[in-house]
Structures are given as C-alpha cells and as structure tokens.
Amino acid sequence: MSTGEWRSCKTEGVNRHEHFPETGHSLNEEQMIRDLVLIKQANCNHVRTCHYSDDPLWYELCDKYGLYVLAEANLDAMVR
C-alpha cells in the first residue's frame, strides 16, 4: 500500500466481477491469480471491483502483482 507522494500516471484497466463458472461467487486463490495474470498480460495496471467488496485476499494479491484498485462502494444496495 502506497503512502508516499502522489503523482499522475496513465491507467489502463478492467472491470472485474468476482465470479467463476465452476464456483460462482466463491473464488479460491488460484482462480484469483489466474485473473491477475490475464489482467497483467493485457498490459493493464488497474482493476475496478464491481458493485461489492471483494475477498480481502484479492486486494492483497493486487498489491503483490502491482495493480491499482478502484474499489466501488456498495451504495446502490443502500438506496432501496
């Protein structure tokens, strides 16, 4: 986690839903790493979580793999 100076940088990223065909919304570490590798192979440096908080392990792995994370707050569920 960065606590240093802020500087501008260009981001190329993806939106990601925490979902796998075999396991639904429950992902294991291997599946998360598979996503991270695909994201890095696409030359992306940032990922946006979609509509809900992801597993805390996901955020740790993003840090390990050098990805910025835009974590979306689950505000749409609170409006109803």
Residue 56 vs residues 9, 25, 62, 63, 79: alpha-carbon distances, Å: 25, 14, 10, 11, 25
Q: Give the pLDDT confidence of 32-56 residue by residue, as tens digits.
A: 999 999 999 999 999 998 877 888 9
pTM of the predicted model as reported, rounded to 2 decimal places:
0.77
Structural domain includes residue 24: yes
Structural domain includes residue 6: no
How many domains is the chain partitioned into structurally? Answer: 1
Its domain, for residue 72, covers 13-79
Structural domain includes residue 39: yes
Residue 35 has a pLDDT of 92
Structural domain includes residue 75: yes
Structural domain includes residue 5: no
CA 48 – CA 71 distance, rounded (Å): 6
Strands (E), the chain: 13-16, 46-49, 68-71
Structural domain includes residue 55: yes
